[in-house]
Structure 1
Amino acid sequence: MEINSVFARRLYLCWLINNSERPNVPHLMELTGWPRRTLQDVLKALPGLGVKLQFVQQGSRNNAGYYQLENWGPLNKDWIDQHHQKLLTAIG
């Protein structure tokens, strides 16, 4: 099964957000090795897949907080959990 790398990146980011403690942009950059702009673009694309993503504000700064998935939309969370390593391989 071949997975499109752009789609795999989006699914993998959902998995990371769901499986990381208080995932914010700097933490996700550290986990993925992706540049800030790439990460922000992927985050911005998730609602287009039907994923409901929320930024939980903490502290007084605008960017102090973390992301959480409120709803996976049409995505199968169990499938993503089982195949996150394949997604990572597809990303390259």
Structure 2
Amino acid sequence: MELNPVFARRLYLCWLLTQMEKPNVPRLMEITGWPRRTLQDVLKALPGMGVTLNFVQQGIRNNDGFYQLSDWGPLNEGWIQHHHQALKEAIGH
């Protein structure tokens, strides 16, 4: 299966957001090895794909909190769950 790495990165991040407890940028950077800017760009692109992503504020600072994927939109969650390993391979992770 040949996957576009940019699209695969977005799908993989969707999967990852559903697998982690309280995923935030520092933890996602640690797990993926992606630079902060790349991660922020991918997070920013998800709503444009129809994915509903919420930031749950915790703490006092503006960026204290975590991301929550609440609706997969047009994406097939089952397919992504089943193929998450292929997605990781497509992005070299």
TM-score tier (shorter): over 0.9
What is aligned with 1:24? 24
Aligned length: 92
Secondary structure of 1:69's counterpart equals strand
The answer for unaligned runs of 5 or more in structure 2 is none
- Please show how residues 1-92 of structure 1 align to structure 2 within 5 Å: 1-92=1-92
The answer for unaligned runs of 5 or more in structure 1 is none
Secondary structure of 2:83's counterpart equals helix
- Identical aligned residues as a percent: 74
Instruction: Give the residue type in structure 2 aligned to 1:80.
Output: I
Instruction: Give the residue type in structure 1 aligned to 2:82.
Output: Q
User: Residues of 2 paired with 1:70 and 1:12: CA distance?
Assistant: 16
Shift of 1:91: 0.4
Shift of 1:70: 1.0
Secondary structure of 2:56's counterpart equals strand
Instruction: Give the residue type in structure 2 aligned to 1:58.
Output: Q
Instruction: Give the residue type in structure 1 aligned to 2:30.
Output: E
Q: Which runs of structure 1 show a deviation greater than 6 angstroms over 4 or more consecutive aligned residues?
A: none
User: Residues of 2 paired with 1:49 and 1:19: CA distance?
Assistant: 20
TM-score by length of 1: 0.98
Secondary structure of 1:60's counterpart equals coil
TM-score by length of 2: 0.97
